[in-house]
Structure 1
């Protein structure tokens, strides 16, 4: 009967010199904890910065896409707002509902320059604006609930 016991030291007898070098533990790398920590923080800051830049560019791209869509559908841009001059005749209420269905409303004329823009862009055609008479008092209100200023409008 044979009995064999494996002893790790026997394995070393069958190894080459190269294998012995492979068994030699490498010294731990010299690190400078503050330097490593500083680099780690720099890398993390760079990743956060690049993530924010990417998010901002995606958001900007979505906004530009929306603007291009609106312009291609006939909306006119004026001082931070878009105006749509519909070619379909509607009642005031129907025109307001049309605007609301597009997350918009009939325009409130708040300045002389806006009034000039609307007049010039309308080209002599008649369009509804967001002014209505509310209640029995006979006061005129814009669709944004601000009171119509007759003096300002006369300018």
Structure 2
């Protein structure tokens, strides 16, 4: 969370892909790849925007590391709810993909029950797993 906070400078959104491996129905996080490492201009509009070249870089990282995208995470200045742009433009448009949103540009403390957690169902439909429901999905405590 500290790196998301630093990269956005408490003024703009910032984000990352969470990479790891799946074991059955569990997702085991190993590393993150920040959007601005894939595209230096990812935050230049104040919101997270990635184009095809960034995804080409991401898939190369996945191939070379043997990891897969488990989820994406990005910050919002206000509440951790999906914007219309978030709903219409999933970072990974595959059913089952998880998208996390962190309120207040990831200012401390970050509690998992205050994060937005959404599962992509396909055809621009999402299931909201936010709030206390997220405790069943995210197995960690306070983020710093």
Shorter-chain TM-score: what band? under 0.3
Q: What's the TM-score once normalised by structure 1's chain length?
A: 0.24
Larger Rg: 1
Q: What's the TM-score once normalised by structure 2's chain length?
A: 0.25
**Larger strand proportion of the pair:** 2
